[in-house]
Amino acid sequence: MDRPPTGPSSDKHPPSLISPDGFGLEGPSDLPDPNFHAYRRDLADVSLAGQVIASHFVEPVEYTLVRAAEFREFPDESGQVIADLVAGERMRLLDCKLGWAWGYAGPEERVGYLNADALGLD
């Protein structure tokens, strides 16, 4: 049994596999290393626009640590420690919620979390 067209686009050509901006729309994604490029589903560094999909993009804001802190892989005290940071080191902050600051820090500019009070944010 043949089905009738279901909408105005049914009589048009199939969708393109390339976006108007030239991005491929098929195959595996070649995402940047999340250890060194800050992106999540909800938020990403604005420098990654066009490379990742996120609900919002922000520009990192630089803060200086007011006390020593453990820089962690996840926003939890049980998260693996990436680096031990000392007062005076900088963090490029992208997000701060529920007592955790997320962004770039440490000697390698890794992506991770630290307690927000280390930045003087409560």
In Å, what is the CA distance from 64 to each residue of 39, 93, 118, 122? 22, 10, 9, 15
Q: Tell me what pLDDT residue 121 has.
A: 87
Q: Tell me what pLDDT residue 68 has.
A: 98
Q: Would you give the distance in Å from CA 51 to the centre of its chain?
A: 11
φ and ψ of 55, to 5 deg: -65, -35
The length of the chain is 122
Q: What is the DSSP letter of 75?
A: S
Q: Report the share of the chain in percent with pLDDT over 70.
A: 75
Q: What pTM, to 2 d.p., does this model score?
A: 0.77
Q: CA 106 to CA 82: how far, in whole Å?
A: 8
> 32, 51 in Cβ contact below 8 A?
yes
Q: What is the pLDDT of residues 87-114, one digit of tens each?
A: 999 999 999 999 999 999 999 999 999 9
Residue of 26 and 4 predicted with greater confidence: 26
**CA count, 13 A, side-chain hemisphere, 16:** 7
Tokens of 8: 């105005």
Q: What is the pLDDT of residues 57-91, one digit of tens each?
A: 999 999 999 999 999 999 999 999 999 999 999 99
User: Any residues with CB less than 8 A from the CB of 31 and at least 6 apart, and which?
Assistant: 39, 51, 52
Q: Tell me what pLDDT residue 24 has.
A: 59
Q: Tell me what pLDDT residue 30 has.
A: 83
Domains of the chain in sequence order: 59-119 (2.30.30.40)
Is residue 117 pLDDT above 90, yes or no?
yes
